[in-house]
């Protein structure tokens, strides 16, 4: 047994309202630079839909992830080492910018510069690649809320698999949002595809990163990742990906997407797993067995033997404790309500999802029946085969039983908790019907419904013993300055990278855990602009001038 | 003049090449990339790039054989001049045509595809000029010199190659180059200028050919490397008094 720790995430899809706040804050934090205009480390897709980039899940087309060869051994679907090197001059499976979208801006200047004229001037869209006028035909969320789906829905690769079912009925009854970040897989096929060996998995927390100094832009990771979560920065010529906000995680803060999530649907925690078992689990012959196999790779942090092995592997004591409190372990292995996205890619993804029950509830409610009655809900889950088969294509390689069970657990929780909330006698037969005890069901309710910040995010800080001297992380990250600082001799982004200061994140944590909303030291000297009547310049409106400045006219 | 052209200039270029790479690697690891433009355009690249690169590999191989292996060695293994000539011309033509066609596609692509053209730096343009010149002159030497023997017969293995080996051995014999036909002279000069430019262009990616991929394990694990967490030197372990 080789114990390793992994930062993992679970998203509760029932709570996602598709507001894209996670995407926007992530973009502001990480990819608001030239070259990454089209890059969304976090994106939210409407399902059914094509996803981003378009039809990324169709691995017969993109050849991402792993597959078993005839001898039953794990092989990269896009071809082995020799094939990768032979196609290095032109990656045959790389998506083009049109599969994402051509980034653009608007010619805002004409709005103010235009001479007096009969018609209102218009800001025309300009391509950020060529600077020319362009026609906008697609972007990352073009089919948001099933917009235009009548024309494009047929391209959804998951829908194709259950195509014999009636499509339009399905479209009317069923829609949900799927937020996606990098999966930080246990068996990452992007890293395996990288000719330079620049993509690595951190031993301490399993975060998968691209070493920007070692990346040579061979582009094999982009086609190697089945989730298409590695992006090519077309200005610097290097691959970039979701970093799991490692500078925040290292000081115990959740990722930006989780921190800003309006629905509070994200959970972050540590998972202990047995690294020796990963390969065997990923090689499981039956695709339907992969979900179960991956769950068995995870180790029970309460098991004394695991704790001993973890200690032997150099995992600090407080990390093991964090693993015991991990909401991820509870959701994945204790309550078993979270499922991995596309286990059939055999990468052992570590961002799991609680499938949405809401479409089922909505249907029951529309029929006028009690949507919180166990019998009604269970019957509806059994009757609504189409949405459930669709969820199964996403989360369990098409096997319906695990999705069915999860939805029944969620339904059982609704009716069990209603009895309690209505002051009735709790009905122990409800949890029993889905194989849970009353206590477990209540714990699950607490975690899913009312968990506080500290329960949703159990993140042990990084263990650099000289943590107080953490000043900046120079190498792992790509954050080139938005403007200037990175205008090196050889074009955009060349030269020595600007390190991210961990101090900033430490400061951020201080601010977020402080008692007051904001307490600047010079608060008493400032003017509250909300109360200012706009007349004159009250004391404190502008910073005090220094003595000699005042003397100059 | 010979000394200047065939001793001083080549050594200056070689020095720039070596020192330049060292400096670039130290200063600009982040910029050390192919700067691929495949994301912008795929259809032309799919043909042009493999044609050019595989052709170029052949061309480089041909140069290694032609310049570094003395005539006496091939003779010793029973390969006559005539046979060698055939092998060299056929191989050279094949690789050369691949390279030239690939390069034509790539240059056409770079000029006509909007996003690719916008992403082209000044250094790229200078590099393209020298690279194209060197390739065209090289093709001229093969076609005109070796096949149609325009400007008289010339066996570069007795002239240019010997000079090149003497140059590498730091015993340069400039007179050998002085006697070479003008096509070879120009080709060599352009090539050396290209070598001098090399470390300052995207050509540096040649030295990143990822052969290690064939032997390394698929998944790379790396420690967070706490000792190297900061790019700053560790702080002193005591506090300043007062």
CA A48 vs CA A156, A349, B82, B184: distances in Å? 7, 21, 69, 64
pLDDT, residue A124, reads 93
d(CA A180, CA A455): 22
Percent with pLDDT over 90 in chain B = 46
From A187, which residue of chain B is nearest by alpha-carbon distance? B219
pLDDT, residue A551, reads 55
Q: What domains are defined for chain B?
A: 2-214 (1.20.950.20)
CA A530 vs CA A497, A533, A534: distances in Å? 40, 8, 10
In the numeric block, the tokens 């596309």 are attached to A342
pLDDT, residue A367, reads 79
- Tens-place pLDDT, residues A528-547: 676 677 777 777 777 666 65
* Count of beta carbons in the 10 Å neighbourhood of residue A116: 4
Tokens of A539: 């004391």
Q: If you average pLDDT over residues B60-71, what whole number do you get?
A: 90
Cβ-Cβ contacts under 8 Å, B38 against chain A: 90-91, 94, 96, 219
Half-sphere exposure of residue A150, counting CA atoms within 13 Å on the CB side? 1
Residue A498 has pLDDT above 60, yes or no: no
d(CA A51, CA A63): 16
- Tens-place pLDDT, residues A384-416: 777 888 899 999 999 999 999 999 999 999 999
d(CA A268, CA A426): 31
CA A528 vs CA A34, A467, A531: distances in Å? 36, 38, 6
Q: How confident is the model at residue A158 (pLDDT cuts 50, 70, 90)?
A: confident
pLDDT, residue A479, reads 43
Percent with pLDDT over 70 in chain B = 92
Q: If you average pLDDT over residues A198-212, what whole number do you get?
A: 93
Give Cβ neighbours of residue A289 (< 8 Å, ≥ 6 apart): none
From B120, which residue of chain A is nearest by alpha-carbon distance? A491
The answer to whether the CB of A263 falls within 8 A of the CB of A16 is: yes
d(CA A456, CA A448): 9
- Tens-place pLDDT, residues A242-276: 999 998 898 889 999 999 999 999 999 999 999 99
Q: If you average pLDDT over residues A413-440, what whole number do you get?
A: 93
Q: How confident is the model at residue A512 (pLDDT cuts 50, 70, 90)?
A: low
- Chain centroid to CA A1: 29
Q: How confident is the model at residue A513 (pLDDT cuts 50, 70, 90)?
A: low
User: Which comes out higher in pLDDT, residue B56 or B151?
Assistant: B56
HEC string of A29-72 equals HHCCCCCCCCCCCCEEEEECCCCCCCCCCCHHHHCCCEEECCCC
pLDDT, residue B242, reads 45
pLDDT, residue A549, reads 55
Mean pLDDT score of chain A: 85
- Minimal Cβ distance to A464: which of B27, B205, B229: B229
Pairing assessment for the beta strands A472-473 and A500-501 based on DSSP bridges: antiparallel
pLDDT, residue B213, reads 93
Instruction: Please say whether the dihedral angle defined by the alpha carbons of residues A114, A118, A122 and A124, taken in this order, is positive or negative.
Output: negative
Cβ-Cβ contacts under 8 Å, B125 against chain A: none
Strand partners, A4: A273
The answer to whether the CB of A55 falls within 8 A of the CB of A66 is: no
- Tens-place pLDDT, residues B85-118: 888 889 999 999 999 999 999 999 999 998 999 8
pLDDT, residue A473, reads 39
Residue A85 has pLDDT above 90, yes or no: yes
The answer to whether the CB of A104 falls within 8 A of the CB of A127 is: yes
Cβ-Cβ contacts under 8 Å, A219 against chain B: 36, 38
Cross-chain residue pair A237–B34, CB shorter than 8 Å: yes
pLDDT, residue B229, reads 46
Question: Which ipTM score applies to this complex?
Answer: 0.86
- Tens-place pLDDT, residues A56-67: 999 999 999 999
* Count of beta carbons in the 10 Å neighbourhood of residue A300: 15
d(CA B113, CA B44): 10
d(CA A472, CA B235): 13
pLDDT, residue A200, reads 95
The answer to whether the CB of A439 falls within 8 A of the CB of A335 is: no
Q: Is the peptide bond before A237 cis (omega within 30 degrees of 0)?
A: no
pLDDT, residue A481, reads 39
Residue A466 has pLDDT above 60, yes or no: no
From A493's Cα to the closest Cα of chain B, the distance in A is 7
CA A353 vs CA A132, A297, A346: distances in Å? 41, 18, 17
* Count of beta carbons in the 10 Å neighbourhood of residue A265: 22
pLDDT, residue A162, reads 73
CA A13 vs CA A233, A324, A352: distances in Å? 30, 24, 10
The answer to whether the CB of B222 falls within 8 A of the CB of A202 is: yes
Cross-chain residue pair B219–A188, CB shorter than 8 Å: yes
- Chain centroid to CA A533: 45
> What backbone phi and psi angles, to 5 degrees, belong to A283?
-90, 0
CA A474 vs CA A211, A246, A247, A496, B224: distances in Å? 11, 13, 11, 9, 12
d(CA A352, CA A337): 10
Q: If you average pLDDT over residues A501-510, what whole number do you get?
A: 61
From A206, which residue of chain B is nearest by alpha-carbon distance? B221
pLDDT, residue A358, reads 84
From A130, which residue of chain B is nearest by alpha-carbon distance? B115
Cβ-Cβ contacts under 8 Å, A235 against chain B: 119
pLDDT, residue B11, reads 93
In the numeric block, the tokens 């981003």 are attached to A52
Residue A553 has pLDDT above 60, yes or no: no
Cross-chain residue pair A196–B214, CB shorter than 8 Å: no
Mean pLDDT score of chain B: 86
Burial of A240 (0-12, 13-18, 19+ CB in 10 A): buried
Contacting A residues, span 168-207, partner chain B, CB-CB under 8 Å: 187-188, 191-192, 194-197, 199-205
d(CA B63, CA B78): 21
The answer to whether the CB of A126 falls within 8 A of the CB of A108 is: no
pLDDT, residue A483, reads 37
- Tens-place pLDDT, residues B181-238: 888 889 999 999 999 999 999 999 999 999 999 999 999 999 876 544 444 444 445 5
Reported for B152-155, long-range contacts at CB under 8 A and 24+ positions apart, including other chains, are B152/B181, B154/B180, B154/B181, B154/B184, B155/B81
Q: pTM of the predicted model, to two decimals?
A: 0.84
Least confident of A278-292, A508-522, B2-16, B187-201: A508-522
SS3 category, A106: strand
Burial per residue of B218-239, b for 16 or more beta-carbon CB atoms within 10 angstroms, e otherwise: bbbeeebeeeebbeeeeeeeee
Q: How confident is the model at residue A475 (pLDDT cuts 50, 70, 90)?
A: very low
DSSP 8-state code for residue A499? P
Cross-chain residue pair B49–A191, CB shorter than 8 Å: no
pLDDT, residue A96, reads 93
């Amino acid at each position: 047994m080789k114990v390793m720790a992994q930062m993992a995430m679970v998203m509760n899809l029932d709570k996602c309202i598709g507001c894209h706040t996670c995407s926007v804050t992530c973009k502001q934090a990480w990819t608001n630079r030239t070259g990454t205009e089209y890059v969304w480390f976090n994106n939210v897709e409407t399902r059914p839909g094509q996803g981003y980039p378009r039809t990324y899940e169709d691995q017969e087309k993109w050849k991402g992830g792993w597959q078993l060869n005839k001898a039953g051994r794990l092989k990269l679907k896009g071809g082995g080492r020799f094939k990768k090197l032979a196609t290095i001059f032109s990656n045959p499976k790389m998506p083009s910018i049109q599969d994402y979208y051509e980034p653009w801006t608007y010619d805002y200047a004409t709005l103010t510069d235009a001479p007096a004229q009969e018609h209102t001037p218009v800001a025309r869209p300009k391509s950020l690649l060529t600077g020319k006028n362009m026609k906008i035909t697609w972007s990352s969320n073009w089919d948001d809320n099933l917009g235009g789906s009548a024309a494009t829905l047929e391209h959804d690769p998951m829908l194709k698999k259950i195509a014999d079912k009636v499509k339009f009925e399905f479209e009317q009854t069923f829609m949900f949002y799927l937020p996606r970040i990098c999966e930080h897989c246990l068996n990452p096929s992007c890293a395996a595809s990288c000719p330079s060996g620049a993509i690595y998995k951190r031993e301490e927390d399993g975060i998968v990163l691209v070493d920007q100094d070692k990346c040579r832009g061979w582009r094999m990771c982009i086609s190697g990742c089945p989730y298409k979560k590695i992006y090519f920065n077309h200005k610097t010529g290097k691959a970039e990906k979701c970093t799991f906000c490692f500078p925040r995680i290292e000081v115990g803060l959740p990722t930006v997407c989780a921190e800003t999530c309006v629905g509070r649907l994200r959970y972050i925690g540590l998972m202990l797993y047995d690294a020796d078992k990963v390969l065997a689990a990923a090689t499981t012959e039956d695709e339907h067995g992969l979900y179960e196999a991956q769950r068995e790779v995870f180790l029970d942090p309460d098991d004394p033997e695991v704790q001993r092995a973890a200690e032997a592997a150099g995992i600090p004591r407080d990390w093991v404790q964090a693993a015991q409190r991990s909401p991820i372990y509870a959701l994945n292995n204790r309550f078993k309500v979270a499922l991995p996205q596309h286990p059939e890619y055999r990468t052992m993804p570590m961002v799991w999802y609680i499938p949405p029950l809401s479409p089922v509830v909505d249907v029951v409610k529309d029929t006028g029946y009690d949507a919180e009655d166990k019998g009604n809900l269970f019957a509806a889950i059994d009757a609504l085969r189409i949405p459930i088969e669709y969820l199964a294509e996403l989360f369990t390689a098409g096997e319906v039983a695990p999705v069915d069970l999860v939805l029944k657990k969620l339904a059982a929780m609704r009716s069990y908790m209603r009895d309690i909330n209505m002051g009735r006698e709790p009905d122990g037969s409800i949890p029993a019907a889905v194989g849970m005890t009353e206590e477990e069901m209540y714990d699950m309710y607490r975690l899913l419904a009312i968990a506080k910040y500290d329960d949703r995010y159990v993140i042990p800080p990084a263990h650099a013993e000289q943590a107080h001297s953490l000043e900046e992380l120079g190498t792992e990250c790509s954050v080139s300055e938005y403007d200037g600082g990175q205008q090196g001799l050889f074009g955009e982004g060349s030269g020595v990278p600007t390190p991210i200061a961990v101090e900033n994140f430490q400061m951020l944590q201080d601010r977020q855990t402080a008692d007051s909303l904001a307490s600047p030291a010079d608060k008493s000297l400032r003017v509250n602009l909300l109360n200012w009547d706009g007349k004159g310049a009250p004391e404190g409106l502008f910073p005090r001038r220094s003595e000699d400045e005042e003397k100059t006219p | 003049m010979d000394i200047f052209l065939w001793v001083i200039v080549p050594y200056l270029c070689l020095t720039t090449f070596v020192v330049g790479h060292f400096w670039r690697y130290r200063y600009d690891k982040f910029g050390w990339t192919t700067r691929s433009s495949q994301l912008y355009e795929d259809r032309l690249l799919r043909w042009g790039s493999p044609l050019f690169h595989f052709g170029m590999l052949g061309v480089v191989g041909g140069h290694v054989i032609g310049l570094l292996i003395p005539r006496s060695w091939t003779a010793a293994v029973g390969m006559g001049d005539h046979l060698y000539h055939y092998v060299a011309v056929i191989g050279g033509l094949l690789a050369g045509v691949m390279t030239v066609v690939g390069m034509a596609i790539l240059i056409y692509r770079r000029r006509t595809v909007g996003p690719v053209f916008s992403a082209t730096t000044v250094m790229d343009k200078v590099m393209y000029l020298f690279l194209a010149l060197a390739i065209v002159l090289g093709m001229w030497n093969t076609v005109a010199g070796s096949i149609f023997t325009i400007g008289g017969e010339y066996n570069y293995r007795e002239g240019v190659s010997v000079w090149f080996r003497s140059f590498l051995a730091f015993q340069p014999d400039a007179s050998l180059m002085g006697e070479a036909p003008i096509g070879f002279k120009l080709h060599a000069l352009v090539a050396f200028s290209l070598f001098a430019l090399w470390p300052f262009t995207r050509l540096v990616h040649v030295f990143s050919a990822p052969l290690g991929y064939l032997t390394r394990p698929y998944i790379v694990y790396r420690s967070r490397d706490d000792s190297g967490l900061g790019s700053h030197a560790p702080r002193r372990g005591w506090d300043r008094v007062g």
